[in-house]
Amino acid sequence: MDRKERIILDDILNGDKIFYRNISVDNVIFGYHERELKVLLFKNTSQEKWLLPGGYVKKDETLEKAAHRVVRYRTNLKKLHLHQFFAFSNPERNKNTHFTPELLTTITGQKVTTDHWLLDNFISVAFFTLVDYYEVKPTGSFYAEECQWWDITNLPEMAFDHREIIDQALLSLRFFSHVSPIGKEMLPEKFTIPELQSLYETILGKKLDNRNFVKKMTNIGLIEKLDEKRNIGKHRSPFLYRFNQARYDALAKGEEFIVF
Amino acid sequence: MDRKERIILDDILNGDKIFYRNISVDNVIFGYHERELKVLLFKNTSQEKWLLPGGYVKKDETLEKAAHRVVRYRTNLKKLHLHQFFAFSNPERNKNTHFTPELLTTITGQKVTTDHWLLDNFISVAFFTLVDYYEVKPTGSFYAEECQWWDITNLPEMAFDHREIIDQALLSLRFFSHVSPIGKEMLPEKFTIPELQSLYETILGKKLDNRNFVKKMTNIGLIEKLDEKRNIGKHRSPFLYRFNQARYDALAKGEEFIVF
């Protein structure tokens, strides 16, 4: 048995001493790429269904720290802003786990009964986070796993209630985008107005009026026009903009609201 | 030992079979009375500090159902709209519990050790709910308890992190009031504009411009002017209004937003 296998074995057998019982975290990691909103999912190569990156919560850490640990592992990003949005608690939500007393007995070589901590139901506190698609290195864990981006409008079959968690995360993100600025994590430092508007339209799932959009963004002082243009073709060189950091931070604090 | 004492004893000894471990719910119950925002709190008569109405979560129920059960018990209201807003998980949050192995041993007459489920840390999922102050019958539980309303600007000393939970609930309520209509649960069926505006000002903790307020409320169709006035003094008889139910429901679904 190698070191990694020993760690797994120890977690299965003694996890109830390290982790809270009945509580897990799940993460909806949103990226933005070519006008599509993406979610980072993984699956075991031997399984059919895809999963949200999640994990258990150590007894000496907060939910936030546990979620952060998971997202960091999956993305290889250090600077992350997680948003806790809902705790999912359907008593049936874990009933399709592939863990059984028999399987755990086989894995551990010790008699595992139905009261084992891994066989209990888990209430999952879910977080969403916005990341820079281009910075992420999708990472499966050390046993055979695939990890990749999926377009939110074209998701694969998901395990447990993870599809519901994604749907709820998208609603929360839309809600959030109405009251707080978004974009800093998902756009390059300099961007054109159409690029910014596309991001908002993709997240909100609807077209926005061009003129109102620019007016709104400019009036609240969220963006600054630069003395610089991008050449995207003959006769097409739109001005570049960037976020005003101070205004962005003030708006993120909820002192004012952006509404479309 | 009477029936109630037997129930308590059984919960202490066997609660880990009935309830999830490490998970509780807490409720911030908001009422509105004479331009003050109130919170319903209780305390054991022998203790100093006040508490939010909370409880454990049965393994066969959702967090929502557990929270609903608690609020219903404390308020005697049947129709309730709870809003889950945050899970509090500081590993130190329960360290000032008055439960000790010695106390539990004394109460139960059985040897209780430090691994007892009641001595573990609890992550608490918090809900806020808006209720009609005049309809609530504040109710202590069957052992010696006081239960009463407190003005949010003049709270007593609170146990655990319950003050932090209230502060966060108020922020969530403010956030909520910007994107969803409020008031149906907290105002009489017919109300004057100053009454509605006072409610919003009390919740938001700031003065609102009179003219903008009426304009906003009327433009979005949330309220309807009635052919009826209230006499509140010589030469003072403001028109009465009521909520437009269909618009209220549509706005509550988040299809549009109200922003001040």
ipTM score of complex: 0.92
Nearest CB neighbour to A22, from listed B23, B60, B175: B23
Residue B154 has pLDDT above 90, yes or no: yes
Residue A235 to chain B, least CA–CA distance (Å)? 38
Nearest CB neighbour to B259, from listed A57, A63, A259: A259
Stronger pLDDT, B129 or B178, i.e. the higher one: B129
CB contact under 8 A, A57 and B178: no
pLDDT score, position A232 = 80
Residues B233-248: what's their mean pLDDT? 90
Averaged pLDDT of chain B = 91
Residue B126 has pLDDT above 70, yes or no: yes
Q: State the virtual CA torsion across A65, A68, A74, A79 in degrees, nearest 10.
A: -140
Stronger pLDDT, A218 or A2, i.e. the higher one: A218
Residues A87-107: what's their mean pLDDT? 89
Residue A239 to chain B, least CA–CA distance (Å)? 31
Residues B78-92: what's their mean pLDDT? 95
Count of H-run helices and E-run strands, chain A: 7, 8
Residue A91 to chain B, least CA–CA distance (Å)? 5
- Helix segments in A20-79, DSSP class H: 63-75
**Per-residue model confidence as pLDDT tens digits over A138-170:** 998 767 789 999 999 999 999 999 999 999 999
Residue B169 has pLDDT above 80, yes or no: yes
pLDDT range class, residue B247, cuts 50, 70, 90:
very high
Q: How far is the C-alpha of A31 from the C-alpha of A136, rounded, in Å?
A: 9
Count of H-run helices and E-run strands, chain B: 7, 8
CB contact under 8 A, A91 and B121: no
Residue A175 to chain B, least CA–CA distance (Å)? 8
Residue B259 has pLDDT above 70, yes or no: no
Q: Strand A19-33 to strand A123-130: parallel, antiparallel, or no bridges (unpaired)?
A: parallel
pLDDT score, position B1 = 64
Residues A33-51: what's their mean pLDDT? 94
Chain B contacts of A123, Cβ < 8 Å?
A: 20, 23, 57, 63, 125
Q: What percentage of chain A reaches a pLDDT higher than 90?
A: 66
pLDDT range class, residue A12, cuts 50, 70, 90:
confident
Q: What is the number of CB-based contacts under 8 A between chain A and chain B? A: 69
Residues B9-37: what's their mean pLDDT? 93
What lies within 8 Å, CB to CB, of A39 at 6+ separation is A28, A29, A30, A31, A52, A149, A150, A152, A155, A166
What lies within 8 Å, CB to CB, of A17 at 6+ separation is none
pLDDT range class, residue A231, cuts 50, 70, 90:
confident
Phi-psi region at B105: left, alpha or beta (left = phi > 0; alpha = psi -120 to 50): alpha
pLDDT range class, residue B125, cuts 50, 70, 90:
very high
| Interface test mutation site (partner A, options B23, B119, B125, B251, max chain A beta carbons within 10 A) | B23
Could you tell me which chain B residue has the CA closest to the CA of A91? Answer: B60
pLDDT range class, residue B258, cuts 50, 70, 90:
low
pLDDT score, position B257 = 67
Q: How far is the C-alpha of B89 from the C-alpha of A62, rounded, in Å?
A: 5
**Per-residue model confidence as pLDDT tens digits over B181-226:** 998 999 999 999 999 999 999 999 999 999 999 998 988 899 999 9
What lies within 8 Å, CB to CB, of A157 at 6+ separation is A48, A49, A50
